[in-house]
């Protein structure tokens, strides 16, 4: 079991293709930047290897783009959406969601109980999201800003991200004060890291564990009932950095958990392959190694948030 710790921070591109209407513009991979000198400009690195597979067995249904009724409030970073019917005198959850279409987090939040959402888009690659929260105080300042704008009090704080957006989650959780404030986290097919030797294999690849320590700790707290964490992963193999399946396998070994093979459909017609839960932690693997499969998981956001809400 790999125990190596390094001081390198890796930024990863989004898997989604620009041609998909739901996905943001195409994103380029970014080379590792030194933690000791984060302002240094690293040279360009090759993006992920494109998937050679195209399958037509399973359809890829898409949600209808709609604007649910509610109020929008501009914040210093992002936009707060408060769905119609959210009661100000009841406990409420504030979700920060990173990456993906603007309308989808709003639609998903409107289907939940007492949930508002701040949607934040940063553009290309996980590095863009990391840079947003280099100042630890920035995230925490958004909570009172949202409460002041909406005249609501949020008793639960949740983070959600798809693909490159998970880079924002990891950066926020590095700050102890922010970590303590956050109750629940949803990572949709976006937990990546690098390979210790710069390439996969042969056989079981050695992963750079430095980018996985925050997920490891949050998962341990979830298992103990202190937090709630859901991680999903697909079969997409980027080739130039570790896949979400590889990082999930590494984390499960560290948590001493064994995933259970399952054969059943998930939300939006996805095919679930594995699932394991312990306390407030859930890790789910889905079939598919192409861009439409990646976007399927984003489109499943309303159901994923329902899962996240099941355990407070």
Over the stretch 163-198, which tens digit does the pLDDT of each residue have?
A: 999 999 999 999 999 999 999 999 999 999 999 999
Count other Cβ atoms within 10 Å, centred on residue 157.
20
The rounded distance, in Å, linking the Cα atoms of 290 and 297 is: 12
Looking at residue 153, what is its pLDDT? 96
Residue-wise pLDDT for 2-58, tens only, equals: 333 333 444 555 444 333 333 433 332 333 333 333 333 223 344 666 666 667 788
Looking at residue 202, what is its pLDDT? 84
Question: How far, rounded to the nearest angstrom, does the alpha carbon of residue 185 sit from its chain's CA centroid?
Answer: 8
| pTM, rounded to two decimals | 0.86
Mean of pLDDT values over 100-120 = 96
Tokens of 143: 């909570």
Residue-wise pLDDT for 149-170, tens only, equals: 999 999 999 999 999 999 999 9
For residue 44, the 8-state DSSP code is: P
Q: Check pLDDT > 50 for residue 216.
A: yes
Mean of pLDDT values over 108-121 = 97
What CATH number is given for 67-310 in this structure? 3.40.50.1820
> Sorting pLDDT into bands at 50, 70 and 90, what band is 277?
very high
CA atoms in the 13 A half-sphere facing the CB of 261: 0
Mean of pLDDT values over 211-239 = 97
Looking at residue 271, what is its pLDDT? 95
Phi, psi of 284, deg, nearest 5: -130, 130
> Sorting pLDDT into bands at 50, 70 and 90, what band is 105?
very high
Looking at residue 311, what is its pLDDT? 58
Residue-wise pLDDT for 227-255, tens only, equals: 999 999 999 999 999 999 999 999 999 99
Mean of pLDDT values over 121-129 = 89
Higher model confidence: residue 19 or residue 279? 279
The rounded distance, in Å, linking the Cα atoms of 298 and 12 is: 17
The rounded distance, in Å, linking the Cα atoms of 300 and 308 is: 12
């Amino acid at each position: 079991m790999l125990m190596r710790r390094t001081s390198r921070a890796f930024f990863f591109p989004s898997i989604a293709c620009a041609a998909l209407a739901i996905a943001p513009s195409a994103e380029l991979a970014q080379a590792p930047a030194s933690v000791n000198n984060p302002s240094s400009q690293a040279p360009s690195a090759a993006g992920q290897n494109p998937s050679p597979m195209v399958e037509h067995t399973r359809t890829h249904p898409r949600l209808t783009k709609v604007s649910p009724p509610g109020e929008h409030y501009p914040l210093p970073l992002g936009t707060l959406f408060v769905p119609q019917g959210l009661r100000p005198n009841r406990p409420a959850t504030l979700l920060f969601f990173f990456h993906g279409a603007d309308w989808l987090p709003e639609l998903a939040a409107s289907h939940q109980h007492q949930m508002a959402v701040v949607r934040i888009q940063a553009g290309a690659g996980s590095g863009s999201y990391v840079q947003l929260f280099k100042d630890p105080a920035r995230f925490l300042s958004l909570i009172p800003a949202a409460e002041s704008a909406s005249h609501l009090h949020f008793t639960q704080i949740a983070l959600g991200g798809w693909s490159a957006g998970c880079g924002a989650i990891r950066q926020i959780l590095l700050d102890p004060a922010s970590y303590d404030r956050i109750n629940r986290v949803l990572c949709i097919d976006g937990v990546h890291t690098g390979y210790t030797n710069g390439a996969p294999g042969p056989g079981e690849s050695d992963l750079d564990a430095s980018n996985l320590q925050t997920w490891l700790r949050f998962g341990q707290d979830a298992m103990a009932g202190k937090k709630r964490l859901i991680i999903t992963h697909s079969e997409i193999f980027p080739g130039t950095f570790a896949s979400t399946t590889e990082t999930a396998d590494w984390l499960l070994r560290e948590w001493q958990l064994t995933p259970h093979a399952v054969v059943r459909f998930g939300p939006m017609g996805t095919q679930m392959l594995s699932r394991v839960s312990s306390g407030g932690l859930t890790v789910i693997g889905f079939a598919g190694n192409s861009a439409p499969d990646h976007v399927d998981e984003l489109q499943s956001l309303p159901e994923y948030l329902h899962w996240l809400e099941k355990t407070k």
